[in-house]
């Protein structure tokens, strides 16, 4: 991990790995007013998390296979 936001991206991916979260919960919990802290966008852009529609529940966010690998590479696997 080389970028300054990587530890926070790792925290986000680890948090989502515990259980898929509603998109609204993710955005509410991880929103920031600092334009330099693009944690959610970084995780999505890197392919670590993805949004998935779930009938009757709305949109859920879960980690991807790439996100699982990111956790393993950083010794935070499930």
Q: What's the whole-model pTM score?
A: 0.81
In the predicted structure, residue 18 carries a pLDDT above the cut 60: yes
- pLDDT of 1 reads 46
Question: Helix, strand, or coil here: 68?
Answer: helix
Query: Which fold, 6-73?
Result: Arc Repressor Mutant, subunit A (1.10.10)
Angle of helix 65-73 relative to helix 6-18, nearest 10 degrees, comes to 120
Distance CA 13, CA 17 (A): 6
Q: What is the pLDDT of residues 33-48, one digit of tens each?
A: 676 678 888 999 999 9
């Amino acid at each position: 991990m080389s970028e300054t936001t990587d530890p926070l991206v790792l925290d986000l991916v680890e948090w989502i790995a515990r259980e898929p979260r509603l998109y609204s919960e993710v955005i509410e919990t991880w929103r920031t007013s600092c334009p330099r802290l693009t944690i959610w966008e970084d995780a999505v852009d890197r392919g670590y998390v993805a949004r998935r529609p779930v009938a009757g529940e709305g949109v859920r966010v879960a980690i991807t296979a790439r996100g699982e690998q990111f956790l393993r590479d950083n010794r935070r696997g499930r």
